[in-house]
Structure 1
Amino acid sequence: MTDDQGEPSLERFHEAVEAAGNPVLTTGEIARHVDEPREEIETWLAALERERSVVSRDVSQDPTVWYPAEWTDYADRERFVVFPDRRQIVVDRPAQFTRAQLSQFARLVDTNGEQGYVYEIDDSDVWQAPYEDLDGLLGTVRDVLPQRYPALEEWIGDQWKRAHQFTLKTHEDGYVVLEAATENLMGNVARQKLDDDHLRAPISDTESWVAEEATAEVKRILYEAGYPVQDERDLDSGEPLDLDMNLELRQYQHDWVERFMETKSGVLVGPPGSGKTVAAMGIVERVGGETLILVPSRELVRQWRDELLAHTTLDESQVGEYHGGTKDVRPVTIATYQTAGMDRHRHLFDSREWGLIVYDEVQHVPSDVYRRSANLQTRHRLGLSASPVREDDLQEEIFTLIGPPIGTDWDALFDEGFVAEPTVEIRYVPWTDDDHRNEYVGSEGHERRQIAASNPAKVEETRRILREHPEQKALIFVDYLDQGRELAAALDAPFISGDTPHHERARKFEQFRDGSLDTLVVSRVGDEGIDLPDASLAIVASGLGGSRRQGTQRAGRTMRPAGRALMYVLATQGAREEEFARRQMRYLAGKGVQVRERTVEDPDDESDDPADDESAGGSGSDGEADGASGSDEGADGEDEDGAGVA
C-alpha cells in the first residue's frame, strides 16, 4: 500500500481503477482489485484523501465511493439518456453515488448487471420521496441528471403537490380530523369518496371528523383516488421500554434506522441476508416503547423471540408470543397476522398503546386476511420485506398503510461484500417420455401446470446438480405434496411441508443449521423469513407459476454474507414453465443478479460449460403468471398446505 519511502501509494489506486474499468470504486471493490484486507484499504484511502490524491463521497444510503482527485469532472459524467415524456432514465455505468441519488425518486426496473441501468419514475415514487419540501427533491433531480428537464420537473412538482393535499391530524379534544388544502378538494374528493362510516361530520369547509376505527381505510381510499394522505396524528408512543442491543450496526443499517426515525414510518426493503431484522431491533431500541411484531408463521414468532433474547437486554418475562399455540401479551409481543386480526383477539391489541408495530414480510398486508392488522395504527409503523412487489400491484397500499420504502441498492451490498450475490441458472429439462408429454398436452388449467411442475425428469436433474456440488448444503423447493414426497424418497432427505408438525419442522431446520442434515426438501413454508443461514445451494423443482416475490424469496434463502451461492431453477421444456421461469427470474435480473439459461439436451450429458449459458435479463413489467402461488396460511395464523399443494 506504500511506496519506498513508506508513503501511501496512489499508483496502486490507479491500478485498481484500471482493473475495474471505472473511475468510481467502493472500498470493497478496491480491496478485491489490489488483493488486500479491507481494514488496510480503509487506512490507506484515508491517508490518500488527506493528501488530496483521492476524493470520497459518503453516499446517504450506499457505501462510501472513491475516485482520483484529478478525475472529479469525469466521475460526475456518466452517460445518461433521459426520456422525459415517459419518465424513463437510462444510465451507462452509473457510480454508486448516482444510483443512490436516483433511488430517492425513481425505481430501478432493469439492469444487465454490468453497464446499462434503466430507471422509471411514477407518481408513487414522487409521493414517497424522502424530502421535507419540493425544493429538496428537485435539488437531487438536478444534481444527478446531466441537464434540466422542465417538463419532467413540472410533472414532479404536480405530483408533489398532489401528495400534500390531505392531512390527518389530532384535534385538541383528541379525535381525528381530515384536513384538505381547499374547500373544493374536501367537497368533491373526500366527501364524494368517503361515506358516513369514514367521516362522522364536517367541522369546517376544509375539515371533517374521522371515525377513529376507519383511519386506515380513509388513507387507502384517498390513495387509490390519487391523493396520498400525510399522517400527522398524535399517535400512541406506548409505555416506555428500556432495552439495549448488543450488535454493531453496519453503516447502511444505521442509515435505515436514522431515516425511519425521521419519518416514524416506513418499509425496510433490502435483499435477504442484508440484516433487516437487525436494523429493526435497532429501531426497537431507539423508539423505546412497547412493541408489537406481526409475522406470517409460528416459525418466525420463535425466530424473532430467539433473536431478541440473544441480541438485546430483554429477558424472557418481557417477550411474549401470541398465536394458535400460545397467547401471552408482554411489553414486546410477537404475533401471527391472522391471529392478531381475528375479531376475538384483536381487542387485546387495540386496547394496548404500542409505541411501535413491526410488520415482518409486509408484502402480505394488502391481502384480505392480513389487511385487518393494518388498522392497528400507532406512532411508529415499520415494515420489512425483501420484495414488496405484488402480482396484483397493491404494493402501493403497503406504503400507504405502513410507510414509504427505505432501502439500499442491491448492487451496492453485493459490491461491498455485505451480501453474497447468488448465481441463478435456469435449466430447461426434457420430458422423460412421450406418455408424460401427451398427458400434459391433453390436460388444461391447474392439472396441466401440476403435470409440468412434477415432470419426473426433474428428479434425475436434481440428483445431477447435487452430484455437481457435493459439498454444498442444499434446499430443494416444491409446490406440490406428491412431488415433495417423491423427491424426498429419491434423495433420502426429509420433506418439510405444512403437514409437518411445528416441533418437527423446528427440529429439522435446526439439524440443517448445525450441519447434521445437508439436504432438505421444503414446500412454501420455507419461502419466507425462516433463517437457514448456511444454505449455499437452492434448487427450485416447481413453483414457477408463482410470483416474482416467491422467486426472490427462494433465491434469498442462499443470500448471506459468505460464499458465492447457487440457485438452479428447473423448468420443463415445451411447457409454459419456460415462460414462467424467465418471468419469475427477471425481477432478480433487474436487481443486478446474474441469471443464466441452459437447455438439458441429453439426460446423460454431465457437462456444465458456462460458455453455453445465455443471459436471462430482459426488461419490461412482469404480469402475473398463471397459477399464482397462493398461501400456506390456515385459519388461525398457522401455515397449512392446500389440497395437493405444498
Structure 2
Amino acid sequence: MDKITVHEWGLMILDEVHVVPAQMFRRVVSAVAHRCKLGLTATLVREDDKIEDLNFLIGPKLYEADWQDLSEKGHIARVVGAEVWCEMTSEFYRAYLQQDASRRRVLATMNPTKIQTCEYLIKKHEQRGDKVIVFSDSVLALKEYAVKMGKPFIYGPTSQTERMRILRQFRTNPKINTLFLSKVGDTSIDLPEATCLIQISSHFGSRRQEAQRLGRVLRAKKRSDANFKAYFYSLVSKDTDEMHYSAKRQQFLVDQGYSFKTVVGIEEAQQNPGRLYATKAQQRALLSSILSRDLESEASEDADRIGK
C-alpha cells in the first residue's frame, strides 16, 4: 500500500464501485492521492442507504447501459427466468414452524421437494448440452446436494489449487457439466461456458447478489447464436420466508426489464422413482440430521474471501 500512497495518480479506476461506501474502502479512496476518479459496476445497488454516498465519494453517475439493449445487440445473453415454488413436505414444514430463524433457513433450503426439483433441472439441462451452476449460501446444503448428486463443489475452504482444477474441468471436460458454488462464486469467477443457473439459497433479500449471480450466465459464449437463451432458476420453498426475500431480490432485475415466470411445482421432479429422498424414511433421516447439526460451525466454514 505504501508504494501506492507515495505517488499522486492521474486517474484512479474503481471496479465494483458499489462497495466503496463501506468503511474500509472509504479509507483507501481518501488515502490515495489522485486527480480524477472513475467508478465501474454492473450492479449500482446496495441494501443499506449508502449508495447515494457515491455522489461525493466518486462523483455523479455519467452513464448506465440498458441490459435489454445489450441483450438485443448480442453483448450479453438473452435469459429465461423462472421462480419455482417447491412444496414443503409435511414433516419438514412442521419442523420449520417450530425452529429459530437460522434453522428455518436450512430446512427451507434442504426441503426434499426442492432437492428433487434441483436434481430434475440439472438432468434436464445436462441432457440438452448446458453447463449448469448451482448456487447455495448454505454450506450444509451445498455439500449435501453436491455429494448426493455426485457433482464437484467450491466453497470457502477449497484451496486455490483445487478451485483451479475444478474450474478447468468444468470448462473443458464434457463429462463435468454441473458445478456447485457457495457465495464465493458471486464475484471474480468468470465462467462463460455456463448457460444455466439454479439458485437453491441466497442471502436474504440482496438485489445485488441476485444480479451478480444472473451475470454468471449473461456472459455465455453462445450468446450470439441465433435463438440461444440462458436459463436462471430460483428455487423457493412455498409458504416460507424465502418467498418474501425472493420478491425483494428480483426487484433490481425487474427494473432492468427482466421478468420471472412463476412455476408452482414441477410434477415430473416427484415422479422419477430413482429420485433423491423418495421415501418417507429417507426424508425423516435428513430432517433428523438437520435438527442435530451445529449450524454456527457450518456457516463459519465458508470464510469471507476478502478477509482470507
Q: TM-score, normalising length from structure 2?
A: 0.80
| Residue 496 of structure 1: how far off its partner (Å) | 0.3
What corresponds to 2:270 in structure 1? 604
* Bigger RCO of structures 1 and 2 (CA < 8 A, at least 6 apart): 2
Structure 1 unaligned segments of length 5 or more: list them.
1-345, 607-630, 640-646
Q: CA deviation at 1:583?
A: 1.6
Q: CA deviation at 1:558?
A: 0.3
1:392, 1:632 → 2: CA distance?
22
Local SS of the residue matching 1:475:
strand
Determine the C-alpha separation between the residues in 2 that align with 1:356 and 1:534.
34
The aligned counterpart of 2:159 is 501
CA separation of 1:351/1:538 partners in 2, compared to 1, >3 Å: closer, same or farther? same
Query: Are 1:361 and 1:528, in contact at CA under 8 Å, matched by a contact in 2?
Result: no
Note if contact 1:421-1:593 (Cα within 8 Å) is conserved in structure 2.
Answer: no
Superposed displacement of residue 526, structure 1? 0.8
Deviations 1:218-242 (CA, angstroms, capped at 9, x unpaired): xxxxxxxxxxxxxxxxxxxxxxxxx
The superposition leaves residues 487-537 of structure 1 with CA deviations (integer Å, 9 ceiling, x where unpaired) of 111221111011111222122222222245311100111111321111100
Q: What fraction of aligned residue pairs are identical, expressed as a percent?
A: 31
Amino acid at match of 1:588: L
The aligned residue for residue 479 of structure 1 is 137
Deviation at 1:605, TM superposition (A): 5.8
Return closer, same or farther for 1:417/1:525 CA change in 2, 3 Å cut-off: same
Distance in structure 2 (CA, Å) of the matches to 1:511 and 1:359: 32
Cα RMSD over matched residues? 2.2
User: Alpha-carbon deviations, 1:366-412, whole Å to 9, x = none?
Assistant: 12333322212412322221112001021112342123322212221
Alpha-carbon separation, structure 2, partners of 1:384 and 1:515: 34
Match of 2:65 in 1: 408
What is the Cα deviation at residue 601 of structure 1? 6.3
Once the two structures are TM-superposed, the CA of residue 549 in structure 1 deviates from its matched residue by: 0.5
Aligned to 1:569: 234
Does the 8 Å contact 2:14/2:39 carry over to 1? yes
Question: Which of 498, 504, 511 is residue 169 of structure 2 equivalent to?
Answer: 511
Contact map agreement 1:389 1:395 (CA 8 A) in 2: yes
- Secondary structure (helix, strand or coil) at the match of 1:506 reads helix
Shift in Å, 1:455: 2.0
Match of 1:443 among 88, 96, 99: 99
Compare CA radii of gyration and give the structure with the larger one.
1
Change (3 A) 1:450 1:398: farther
Partner of residue 180, structure 2: 521
Partner of 2:108: 452
Q: Please, what TM-score do these two structures have when normalized by structure 1?
A: 0.39
* In structure 2, distance between residues paired with 1:442 and 1:397: 41
Pair 1:553 & 2:206 matched: no
Q: Please state whether the residue corresponding to 2:151 is helix, strand or coil.
A: coil
Q: Structure 1 residue 364 and structure 2 residue 19: aligned?
A: yes
Supply the AA of the counterpart residue of 1:349.
I
Are the counterparts in 2 of residues 524 and 632 from structure 1 also a CA contact under 8 Å? no
Q: Secondary structure at the match of 1:370?
A: helix
User: Is contact 2:197-2:233 (8 Å) kept?
Assistant: yes
Q: How many angstroms does 1:468 deviate by?
A: 2.0
Which range moves more in the overlay, 522-531 or 353-362? 353-362
Q: Which runs of 5+ in 2 are unaligned?
A: 273-301
Aligned pairs (5 A) from 1:243-262? none
Alignment CA distance shift 1:373-1:546 (3 Å) = farther
**Structure 1 residue 638, shift from structure 2 partner:** 4.2
Shift of 1:599: 0.8
Q: Give, in angstroms, the shift of residue 600 of structure 1.
A: 0.6
Q: Which amino acid aligns with 1:434?
A: S
Higher fraction of helix: 2
Indicate how the Cα distance of structure 1 residues 369 and 379 shifts in structure 2: closer, same or farther if over 3 A, else same. Answer: same
Task: Quote the Cα distance in structure 2 between the aligned partners of 1:365 and 1:529.
Answer: 17
Separation (CA, whole Å) in 2 of partners of 1:358 and 1:523: 28
